[in-house]
Amino acid sequence: MASIVGYGFYIPRLRIKIEEIARVWGEDAEQIKDSLGVEEKSVPDIDEDTATMAVEAARNAINFAGIDPKKIGAVFVGSESHPYAVKPTASIVAEAVGAVPYSTAVDMEFACKAGTTAIQACMAMVDSGMIEYGLAIGSDVAQSKPGDALDYTSGAGACAYIIGKEGIADIKATASYTTDTPDFWRKQGASFPSHGGRFTGEPAYFKHIIGATQLIFQKTNLQPKDFDFAVFHQPNAKFPTRVAKMLGFSEEQIKESLVVKKIGNTYSASSMLGLASVLEIAQPNQRILVTSFGSGAGSDSFVIETNERIKTKQRGLLKKMLEEKEYVDYAIYLKNKRVLKSE
């Protein structure tokens, strides 16, 4: 059975407060914070991008797992902000961490669920015996047009998982739910994504999260009461809180996963960071539900159970990374996003 052998993450140190963004656009910060449930978001520094963050997260995951990177047979990087249109991020990561040359590497793209799809690919290769370990990463420098609603939530971060056997948490089941729902897109050559406003909610996020979660309930004969924790994709704090209630989960079951309040929506890393936040405090023999969401649209759902090996690992780094921060103003934020730079 495929298992999480190690995990790692990277969140940029720089942050911007919702009040600063609202000040520039002459909007009510308190109303926005109340509406989104987000207080601030992570901002990449001038030398940080999807690839550099993926490398840092991968290194942390390998250190956690305590494995030889040469044993990693597959590297998958999920993102919608790869630095190159033609040149894989995955090969950069594989070279940087030492998982070369005898490995397969590929970039994945399915909006915010590309990272969890990478986990599924690693699971299949591990379970089939093709590889001993797989590295699945979700990493994004989330793009948003200045002044757009996404400007308040689009963050930056990365999360990586080493998938193998006999790890700290076993992946008991997975299920996916996919339809052609055009709620969010970015055409070739466009600098910023477009979205369908409120259409991104009911027919997109909620329909697919609920569909995938109900499917995995059917496959496993489990119910919300059977889980210690639940993790849902976090475009903001309101959506996962609402969908949890719709599915029958309590606020207590999801509160540990809601990292979005402090770093915003990290897109492909979002649900993966939510899971990492839970694994940082989880005890042996606890059951976790994870359901991601990617616009376009689809969701991947997982049932994960921790075991006794989790007690042997040092944890707590994520909380420290969340607390170590430096605030920037809107001008620096735009500069770091390269909005003010010519190509």
Known catalytic residues are 80, 112, 233
Q: What is the Cα–Cα distance from 170 to 201, expressed in whole angstroms?
A: 31
User: Which residues lie closer than 8 Å to 126 by C-beta, 6 or more apart?
Assistant: 2, 132, 133, 134, 163, 164, 165
107 to 158, 203, 258, 275, 300: CA distances (angstroms): 14, 27, 27, 22, 18
Neighbour tally for 30: CB within 10 Å: 10
Cis, peptide link before residue 101, omega less than 30° from 0? yes
Give yes or no for a contact between 174 and 114, defined as CB atoms under 8 angstroms apart. no
Q: What is the Cα–Cα distance from 10 to 156, expressed in whole angstroms?
A: 9
Sign of CA dihedral 20, 25, 28, 31: negative
Cα R_g (the chain), whole angstroms: 19
Per-residue 3-state assignment (H helix, E strand, C coil) for 193-248? CEECHHHHHHHHHHHHHHHHHHHHHHHHCCCHHHCCEEEECCCCCHHHHHHHHHHC
144 to 192, 259, 260, 337: CA distances (angstroms): 6, 20, 16, 9
The residues pairing with 173 across neighbouring beta strands, listed in sequence order, are 303
Give yes or no for a contact between 172 and 304, defined as CB atoms under 8 angstroms apart. yes
User: Which residues lie closer than 8 Å to 37 by C-beta, 6 or more apart?
Assistant: 236, 237, 238, 241, 258, 260, 261
